[in-house]
Amino acid sequence: MLTSDGFIRILNLLSVGVLVTGMLILWRRSLLSAVQIFGVQSLLLALMAVWIAFYTGAAHLYLIAFLVAAIKAVAIPVLLSRIIRRLDVYTEIEPYIGVATSLLVGAGLVVVAYFVMQPVADATNLPTHNALPLAFAMVLLGLFITVSRKKAVTQILGFLVLENGIFMLAVLATYGVPTIVEIGVFLDLFVGILIMEVLVYRINQTFESVDTHVLDELRG
Protein backbone atom coordinates (compact mmCIF):
# COMPACT_ATOMS: atom_id res chain seq x y z
CA MET A 1 0.00 0.00 0.00
CA LEU A 2 1.33 3.42 -0.94
CA THR A 3 1.39 6.25 1.50
CA SER A 4 -1.18 9.00 1.17
CA ASP A 5 1.62 11.34 0.16
CA GLY A 6 2.65 9.17 -2.79
CA PHE A 7 -0.94 8.81 -3.91
CA ILE A 8 -1.38 12.57 -4.00
CA ARG A 9 1.86 13.10 -5.93
CA ILE A 10 0.91 10.64 -8.64
CA LEU A 11 -2.62 12.08 -8.77
CA ASN A 12 -1.36 15.64 -9.15
CA LEU A 13 1.03 14.50 -11.86
CA LEU A 14 -1.83 12.93 -13.78
CA SER A 15 -3.98 16.05 -13.34
CA VAL A 16 -1.24 18.29 -14.67
CA GLY A 17 -0.86 15.87 -17.56
CA VAL A 18 -4.56 16.30 -18.37
CA LEU A 19 -4.21 20.09 -18.27
CA VAL A 20 -1.16 20.00 -20.53
CA THR A 21 -3.06 17.93 -23.08
CA GLY A 22 -5.86 20.50 -22.93
CA MET A 23 -3.38 23.28 -23.68
CA LEU A 24 -1.88 21.18 -26.47
CA ILE A 25 -5.29 20.93 -28.15
CA LEU A 26 -5.40 24.72 -28.10
CA TRP A 27 -1.93 24.87 -29.59
CA ARG A 28 -2.17 22.33 -32.42
CA ARG A 29 -3.76 23.39 -35.68
CA SER A 30 -3.74 19.96 -37.19
CA LEU A 31 -7.11 18.42 -36.51
CA LEU A 32 -5.83 14.86 -36.58
CA SER A 33 -3.19 15.47 -33.97
CA ALA A 34 -5.67 17.42 -31.85
CA VAL A 35 -7.94 14.38 -31.90
CA GLN A 36 -5.00 12.16 -30.93
CA ILE A 37 -4.12 14.48 -28.07
CA PHE A 38 -7.71 14.24 -26.93
CA GLY A 39 -7.30 10.43 -26.96
CA VAL A 40 -4.22 10.79 -24.79
CA GLN A 41 -6.09 13.07 -22.40
CA SER A 42 -8.89 10.55 -22.07
CA LEU A 43 -6.35 7.82 -21.43
CA LEU A 44 -4.78 9.90 -18.67
CA LEU A 45 -8.25 10.34 -17.16
CA ALA A 46 -8.79 6.58 -17.29
CA LEU A 47 -5.47 6.07 -15.51
CA MET A 48 -6.48 8.62 -12.93
CA ALA A 49 -9.71 6.71 -12.32
CA VAL A 50 -7.80 3.45 -11.96
CA TRP A 51 -5.35 5.12 -9.59
CA ILE A 52 -8.14 6.44 -7.38
CA ALA A 53 -9.95 3.10 -7.50
CA PHE A 54 -6.76 1.35 -6.50
CA TYR A 55 -6.14 3.73 -3.63
CA THR A 56 -9.68 4.05 -2.27
CA GLY A 57 -10.92 0.59 -3.11
CA ALA A 58 -13.97 1.92 -4.98
CA ALA A 59 -14.39 -1.04 -7.30
CA HIS A 60 -16.92 0.52 -9.66
CA LEU A 61 -14.31 3.03 -10.78
CA TYR A 62 -12.48 0.25 -12.60
CA LEU A 63 -15.52 -0.22 -14.80
CA ILE A 64 -15.72 3.53 -15.38
CA ALA A 65 -12.05 3.69 -16.24
CA PHE A 66 -12.51 0.92 -18.75
CA LEU A 67 -15.45 2.76 -20.36
CA VAL A 68 -13.49 6.00 -20.56
CA ALA A 69 -10.60 4.22 -22.21
CA ALA A 70 -12.84 2.37 -24.65
CA ILE A 71 -15.16 5.21 -25.64
CA LYS A 72 -13.21 8.42 -25.19
CA ALA A 73 -9.71 7.20 -25.85
CA VAL A 74 -10.49 4.85 -28.75
CA ALA A 75 -14.01 4.99 -30.23
CA ILE A 76 -14.51 8.75 -30.38
CA PRO A 77 -11.04 9.58 -31.72
CA VAL A 78 -11.55 6.94 -34.41
CA LEU A 79 -14.93 8.43 -35.31
CA LEU A 80 -13.56 11.97 -35.43
CA SER A 81 -10.56 10.93 -37.50
CA ARG A 82 -12.95 9.31 -39.95
CA ILE A 83 -14.90 12.54 -40.25
CA ILE A 84 -11.71 14.49 -40.83
CA ARG A 85 -10.49 12.14 -43.56
CA ARG A 86 -13.86 11.96 -45.25
CA LEU A 87 -14.37 15.69 -45.31
CA ASP A 88 -10.79 16.31 -46.26
CA VAL A 89 -10.46 19.04 -43.68
CA TYR A 90 -7.15 18.60 -41.88
CA THR A 91 -6.30 21.96 -40.41
CA GLU A 92 -7.92 24.74 -38.46
CA ILE A 93 -6.79 27.31 -40.99
CA GLU A 94 -7.81 30.55 -39.43
CA PRO A 95 -9.23 30.39 -35.90
CA TYR A 96 -11.00 33.45 -34.53
CA ILE A 97 -8.28 33.80 -31.95
CA GLY A 98 -4.68 33.10 -32.94
CA VAL A 99 -2.62 30.35 -31.34
CA ALA A 100 -0.43 32.58 -29.22
CA THR A 101 -3.38 34.57 -27.90
CA SER A 102 -5.31 31.36 -27.34
CA LEU A 103 -2.56 30.02 -25.13
CA LEU A 104 -2.50 33.26 -23.17
CA VAL A 105 -6.28 33.19 -22.71
CA GLY A 106 -6.02 29.51 -21.74
CA ALA A 107 -3.47 30.40 -19.08
CA GLY A 108 -5.77 33.17 -17.91
CA LEU A 109 -8.66 30.72 -17.65
CA VAL A 110 -6.51 28.43 -15.52
CA VAL A 111 -5.83 31.36 -13.22
CA VAL A 112 -9.55 32.12 -13.09
CA ALA A 113 -10.23 28.47 -12.29
CA TYR A 114 -7.74 28.58 -9.41
CA PHE A 115 -9.22 31.84 -8.18
CA VAL A 116 -12.77 30.49 -8.31
CA MET A 117 -12.08 27.04 -6.92
CA GLN A 118 -9.69 28.06 -4.15
CA PRO A 119 -12.44 28.39 -1.52
CA VAL A 120 -13.83 24.99 -2.52
CA ALA A 121 -10.41 23.37 -2.41
CA ASP A 122 -9.69 24.96 0.98
CA ALA A 123 -12.98 23.83 2.42
CA THR A 124 -12.44 20.11 1.86
CA ASN A 125 -9.93 17.78 3.42
CA LEU A 126 -9.99 15.39 0.48
CA PRO A 127 -6.54 14.16 -0.50
CA THR A 128 -7.43 15.22 -4.06
CA HIS A 129 -8.18 18.85 -3.29
CA ASN A 130 -5.11 20.27 -5.02
CA ALA A 131 -6.27 18.94 -8.38
CA LEU A 132 -9.81 20.34 -8.18
CA PRO A 133 -8.99 23.73 -9.80
CA LEU A 134 -7.30 21.89 -12.68
CA ALA A 135 -10.49 19.94 -13.38
CA PHE A 136 -12.45 23.16 -13.42
CA ALA A 137 -9.86 24.73 -15.70
CA MET A 138 -10.56 21.92 -18.16
CA VAL A 139 -14.26 22.88 -18.23
CA LEU A 140 -13.38 26.48 -19.06
CA LEU A 141 -10.76 25.43 -21.62
CA GLY A 142 -13.26 23.17 -23.36
CA LEU A 143 -15.75 26.01 -23.63
CA PHE A 144 -13.02 28.32 -24.87
CA ILE A 145 -12.08 25.86 -27.63
CA THR A 146 -15.66 25.82 -28.92
CA VAL A 147 -15.75 29.60 -28.88
CA SER A 148 -12.49 30.30 -30.61
CA ARG A 149 -12.38 27.66 -33.36
CA LYS A 150 -14.27 27.65 -36.61
CA LYS A 151 -14.27 24.04 -37.78
CA ALA A 152 -17.15 21.95 -36.55
CA VAL A 153 -14.79 19.08 -35.68
CA THR A 154 -12.73 21.27 -33.35
CA GLN A 155 -15.88 22.52 -31.73
CA ILE A 156 -16.98 18.97 -31.03
CA LEU A 157 -13.54 18.42 -29.56
CA GLY A 158 -14.02 21.45 -27.32
CA PHE A 159 -17.28 20.02 -26.11
CA LEU A 160 -15.55 16.73 -25.37
CA VAL A 161 -12.80 18.47 -23.42
CA LEU A 162 -15.49 20.23 -21.40
CA GLU A 163 -17.08 16.85 -20.73
CA ASN A 164 -13.71 15.47 -19.64
CA GLY A 165 -13.38 18.36 -17.22
CA ILE A 166 -16.73 17.56 -15.66
CA PHE A 167 -15.83 13.90 -15.44
CA MET A 168 -12.50 14.73 -13.80
CA LEU A 169 -14.22 17.00 -11.32
CA ALA A 170 -16.65 14.21 -10.45
CA VAL A 171 -13.91 11.65 -10.01
CA LEU A 172 -11.72 13.95 -7.92
CA ALA A 173 -14.39 15.44 -5.72
CA THR A 174 -16.60 12.44 -5.04
CA TYR A 175 -14.62 9.47 -6.40
CA GLY A 176 -17.10 9.14 -9.21
CA VAL A 177 -20.83 9.53 -9.39
CA PRO A 178 -22.98 6.38 -9.13
CA THR A 179 -22.19 3.88 -11.84
CA ILE A 180 -25.61 3.93 -13.42
CA VAL A 181 -25.42 7.71 -13.86
CA GLU A 182 -21.93 7.52 -15.26
CA ILE A 183 -22.97 4.87 -17.77
CA GLY A 184 -25.92 7.01 -18.75
CA VAL A 185 -23.57 9.94 -19.35
CA PHE A 186 -21.37 7.81 -21.57
CA LEU A 187 -24.34 6.64 -23.58
CA ASP A 188 -25.47 10.26 -23.93
CA LEU A 189 -22.04 11.34 -25.02
CA PHE A 190 -21.69 8.60 -27.56
CA VAL A 191 -25.09 9.19 -29.14
CA GLY A 192 -24.40 12.95 -29.04
CA ILE A 193 -21.18 12.46 -30.97
CA LEU A 194 -22.94 10.29 -33.55
CA ILE A 195 -25.61 12.96 -34.07
CA MET A 196 -22.93 15.64 -34.34
CA GLU A 197 -21.17 13.53 -36.94
CA VAL A 198 -24.33 13.39 -39.05
CA LEU A 199 -24.83 17.11 -38.58
CA VAL A 200 -21.31 17.90 -39.66
CA TYR A 201 -21.81 15.91 -42.86
CA ARG A 202 -25.04 17.81 -43.44
CA ILE A 203 -23.40 21.18 -42.86
CA ASN A 204 -20.67 20.16 -45.27
CA GLN A 205 -23.20 19.12 -47.88
CA THR A 206 -25.22 22.29 -47.59
CA PHE A 207 -22.47 24.87 -47.33
CA GLU A 208 -19.52 22.98 -48.78
CA SER A 209 -17.66 23.93 -45.67
CA VAL A 210 -17.58 22.88 -42.05
CA ASP A 211 -16.88 26.40 -40.84
CA THR A 212 -19.73 27.02 -38.45
CA HIS A 213 -19.60 30.77 -39.08
CA VAL A 214 -21.39 30.18 -42.38
CA LEU A 215 -24.41 29.30 -40.27
CA ASP A 216 -24.85 33.05 -39.74
CA GLU A 217 -26.72 33.01 -43.01
CA LEU A 218 -29.58 31.17 -41.39
CA ARG A 219 -30.91 34.12 -39.45
CA GLY A 220 -34.05 35.68 -40.86
Q: Which residues contact other proteins by CB under 8 A? A: 96, 109, 112, 115-116, 118-119, 140, 143-144, 146-148, 150, 212-213, 215-216, 218-219
Q: What minimum distance in Å lies between the beta carbon of 116 and other proteins?
A: 5
Neighbouring-strand partners of residue 197: none
* Cα separations in angstroms, 133 against 29, 129, 138: 26, 8, 9
Q: What minimum distance in Å lies between the beta carbon of 154 and other proteins?
A: 11
The nearer residue to other proteins, 131 or 145, going by C-beta atoms, is 145
Spatial distance between the Cα atoms of 61 and 72, rounded to a whole number of angstroms: 15
The nearer residue to other proteins, 100 or 219, going by C-beta atoms, is 219
Q: What minimum distance in Å lies between the beta carbon of 20 and other proteins?
A: 21
7: which residues sit within 8 A by CB, 6+ positions away?
A: 51, 55, 127
Q: What minimum distance in Å lies between the beta carbon of 96 and other proteins?
A: 6
Q: What minimum distance in Å lies between the beta carbon of 14 and other proteins?
A: 25
The nearer residue to other proteins, 4 or 118, going by C-beta atoms, is 118
109: which residues sit within 8 A by CB, 6+ positions away?
A: 137, 140, 141, 144
The nearer residue to other proteins, 182 or 197, going by C-beta atoms, is 197
The nearer residue to other proteins, 57 or 220, going by C-beta atoms, is 220
**Could you give phi then psi for residue 214, rounded to 5 degrees?**
-70, -15
Question: Which of 116-140 are b and which e, b meaning 16 or more Cβ less than 10 Å from the residue's Cβ?
Answer: ebeeebeeeeebbbebbbbbbbbbb
